């Protein structure tokens, strides 16, 4: 059996374990949330976001399903509401500061804030062996800056609780700094992004801005960037780095006001983003995100997960 076959076998075994775990209900002492717990999920009119919304609602939370397109978002919410789930819709474009502001004001006025934020909104224009960077600016803007802007807008609205508020960023192994494949060739930059002491918002922003600038002037191919799904990988590398940075920033908050932030890779999921070429169902792809959002009695923050296990950045 080759390495690819063994990896596939391990992945399938782990997914079977996850399916078993999903059938085990949380006990009363583990269940820190209620129907008044508010979870906001971005970009969830279909795919992983829709499934995360569904699973959180099944656990009894109130879910605010958001989408840039009001028509498809309303339809997605209606489908879940017909299943007697407590799901509401509000329009939200993570690229539009005014849209974020209006959503924040509506959330504050109607629910007093939120307890859980799942940053799922994202785009990818590369399929199969394609590695076009034609939409690099939009990919970076949506996947990284959209996630970052939502985090900054929602932190002031996160409700105090003994369990701590939760932020979950949907990311990808393609953005790993130290993976054997697809990593940055610039060793110095890789070390700076790896070192939590040197990591800063300016460094992360500067890294993605340099990439976009090199795309615009046609020099990106010699820039030492990831070679597979380059723009998507760079955007998720930034999300991963920002997750670690914010975990450090938020670590000093007082008890009762804690906010735990983590990111995870859902895997190659059968969704529109992968051209439905993935090998994992949306249900399994959403599982780790929901698990992170609902972790009981554990102060886990600044970590990267896949299939309910911590992986290296």
| Cα 311 versus chain centre, distance | 15
Task: Give the separation between CA 26 and CA 252, rounded to whole angstroms.
Answer: 29
Other C-beta atoms closer than 10 Å to the C-beta of 307 total 21
Active-site position among 232, 242, 260, 264: 232
H/E stretch holding 131 reads: none
The Cβ-side half-sphere exposure at 151, using a 13 Å CA radius, reads: 27
H/E stretch holding 64 reads: strand 62-67
Tracing tokens 């034609």 back to the chain, one arrives at 134
Q: Is 87 helix (H, G, I), strand (E, B) or coil?
A: strand
Closest among 198, 168, 223 to 41, alpha carbons compared: 168
Task: Give the separation between CA 215 and CA 240, rounded to whole angstroms.
Answer: 21
Other C-beta atoms closer than 10 Å to the C-beta of 50 total 26
Q: Are 153 and 146 in contact (CB under 8 A)?
A: no
The answer to whether 260 is a known catalytic residue is no
CA angle 119, 18, 121 (to 5 degrees): 15
Structure tokens at 170: 């949907």
Q: Are 246 and 253 in contact (CB under 8 A)?
A: no
Catalytic residue numbers read: 232
């Amino acid at each position: 059996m080759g390495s690819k076959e063994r990896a596939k076998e391990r992945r399938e075994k782990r997914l079977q374990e996850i399916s078993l775990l999903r059938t085990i209900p949380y006990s009363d002492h583990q269940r820190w949330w209620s129907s008044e717990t508010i979870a906001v999920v971005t970009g969830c009119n279909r795919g992983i976001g829709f499934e995360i919304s569904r699973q959180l609602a099944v656990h009894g939370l109130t879910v605010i399903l958001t989408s840039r397109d009001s028509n498809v978002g309303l339809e997605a919410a209606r489908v879940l509401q017909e299943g007697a789930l407590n799901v509401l819709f509000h329009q939200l474009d993570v690229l539009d500061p005014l849209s974020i502001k209006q959503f924040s004001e509506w959330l504050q006025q109607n629910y007093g804030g939120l307890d859980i934020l799942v940053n799922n909104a994202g785009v990818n224009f590369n399929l199969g062996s394609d590695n076009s960077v034609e939409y690099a600016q939009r990919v970076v803007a949506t996947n990284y800056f959209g996630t970052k802007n939502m985090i900054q807008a929602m932190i002031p609205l996160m409700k105090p609780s003994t369990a701590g508020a939760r932020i979950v960023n949907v990311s990808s192994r393609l953005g790993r700094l130290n993976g054997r494949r697809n990593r940055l060739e610039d060793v110095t930059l890789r070390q700076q992004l790896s070192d939590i002491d040197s990591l800063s918002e300016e460094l992360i922003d500067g890294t993605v801005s340099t990439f976009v600038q090199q795309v615009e002037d046609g020099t990106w191919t010699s820039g030492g960037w990831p070679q597979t799904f380059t723009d998507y990988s760079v955007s998720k590398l930034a999300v991963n780095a920002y997750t670690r940075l914010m975990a450090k920033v938020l670590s000093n908050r007082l008890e009762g006001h804690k906010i735990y932030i983590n990111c995870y890779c859902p895997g190659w999921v059968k969704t529109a983003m992968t051209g439905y070429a993935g090998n994992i169902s949306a249900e399994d792809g959403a599982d780790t995100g929901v698990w992170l959002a609902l972790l009981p009695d554990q102060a886990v923050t600044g970590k990267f997960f896949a299939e309910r296990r911590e992986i290296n950045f």
